[in-house]
Amino acid sequence: MANLFTLGALDGGARRGRLQLAHGAVETPCFMPVGTAATVKGLTPAELREAHTQIVLANTYHLWLRPGKETIEAAGGLHAFMAWDGPILTDSGGFQVFSLEGRRRLDDEGVTFASHLDGSEHRFTPESVIGFQEAIGSDVAMLLDVCVKLPASREELEESVRLTAAWARRSAAVPPSGATLRFAIVQGGLDAALRERSARELVELDFAGYAVGGLSVGETRAEMYATARATAALLPEAKPRYLMGVGTVRDLVAAVDCGIDLFDCVYPTRCGRNGRAMTSGGELNIFNAPFTRDFSPLDPSCDCSTCTNFSRAYLAHLFRAKEMLGPRLLSYHNVYLVNALMRAARDAIAAGEWALFRDRASG
C-alpha cells in the first residue's frame, strides 16, 4: 500500500509528521475531538475550524444504530451529513460493543450485541465493520478488534490478541472501496510479550497505520506510558501511530514523548460541558465561588474567542443559570487549547526543542 505518511522531524522520541487523507492533510502530532454521533457535542463545524481542528472522530457503533448506513449514504456520505469537509476517522465500535457486558456474545466470526437504545440485536464482523466505514466515506477506518478491561487474565489477553489478528487478516482480505485508509489496533494489555506478538502479526499485514489499543482502561498512568512507549517502538517508523482515548495535557505530552502521532478523547468536551476548564495554568472548576466576581479572562494566555470576549464571572453565571452557552464556550476553549498544545508541540519538535517544551508543558 502507498504510504501517505511523511515523517518530517524527530527529536528524542517525539515525531513531527504529515498524514495525507482524502479530505485533507493532517499535521502530527494531532488531537482528534470526538464526534461520536456525527457531532462534536456543542460545537459547530465552523467552530471546530476556528479552534484549528484538523480531523474529527466518529463512532461506527453509534452511527450503525442511529441514523444507520442507508440514511448517511442517502445524505451523500458522513462528511455531507455532518457538514464537515475535513478528514474523519471512524472508530470500529469494538470498544463500545465490548463494554456491553451481558449484552453481547463473542465468537470467532464476530460479535452479536443488543442495542443500548432499544434492545434490538445486531452483528459486527470484521467485514461488515470495514464495509460500513467505507460506505459512509470515512478517511480512516479502524479495524474491528477485541478490547479487554484491565486488569485481565493472561487467558483473556491471549484470546484478545488471537482474535484481533484473525479479524485483521479478514479485514485485509476485503477489497478496498474508495480512498478510506485502514488502521489496525494492537492489543495485549500490559503484557510485553503479547504486545510484541500482536504488533508483529498486524505489521505483517501492512496497514496504513496502527493504533495502540487496550490502554486507558484501568491501568495506572505509569503503566500506560510504559506500554505506549514499548508498543510504539514495535511499529513501523514510516506509519502513523495512534494512542486511543487520551486527552489531558499531561497524557498528551507524555504520549508525544513516547513516539505517538494521533490521539482522541472525549475529555476536553466532557470537561467543558461540566464546567471544567483546561488552562495554561492547570484545570479549574468554573463553579468555584471566587469565579463569580472574577472579571479576568478564563485563560489570559489563550487567544480563543471565549477568552478574548468573556470573563470567568460571566462563564460562572452561565453555568449557574444553566444556560447552554456556558458548556459551549468552555468546550470550544478546551478544544482550542488542546489543538494549540499540539501545534506548539509540532513547532518544538521541528525546532529541536522538544525536551524543553515537554518539561515546561507537563510541569
CB contact at 8 A, 40 and 89: no
Predicted local distance difference test score (pLDDT) of residue 34: 98
pLDDT (tens digit per residue) in 123-181? 999 999 999 999 999 999 999 999 988 999 999 999 999 999 999 999 999 999 999 99
- pLDDT, residue 3, reads 72
Give percent above pLDDT 70 in the chain.
Answer: 99
Please report the pLDDT score of residue 102 as a whole number: 83
Per-residue confidence at 339, pLDDT binned at 50, 70, 90? very high
Q: Which of 95-104, 154-163, 220-229, 267-276 has the lowest mean pLDDT?
A: 95-104
Q: What pLDDT, on the 0 to 100 scale, is given for residue 39?
A: 98
The answer to whether the CB of 144 falls within 8 A of the CB of 165 is no
**Quick one: pLDDT at residue 104?**
92
Domains with residue ranges and CATH for the chain: 5-265 (3.20.20.105), 267-353 (no CATH)
Looking at residue 2, its pLDDT comes to 58
Answer whether residue 1 shows pLDDT above 60. no
- Please, what sign has the CA dihedral across residues 99, 101, 104, 110? positive
CA atoms within 13 A on the CB side of 268: 35
Query: Over the stretch 23-75, which tens digit does the pLDDT of each residue have?
Result: 999 999 999 999 999 999 999 999 999 999 999 999 999 999 999 999 999 99
pLDDT at 296 over 90: yes
Q: What is the pTM of this model?
A: 0.97
Estimate the crossing angle of helix 154-172 against helix 192-203, to 10 degrees. Answer: 10
**Catalytic amino acids?**
91, 264
Report helix, strand and coil shares of the chain as percent, to nearest 5. Answer: 40, 20, 35
Q: How far apart are the first and last CA of the chain?
A: 41
- Would you say 318 and 332 are in contact if contact means Cβ atoms under 8 Å apart? no
The DSSP H or E segment spanning 19 is: strand 14-21
Amino acid 60: pLDDT: 97
The yes-or-no verdict on residue 326 having pLDDT over 60 is yes
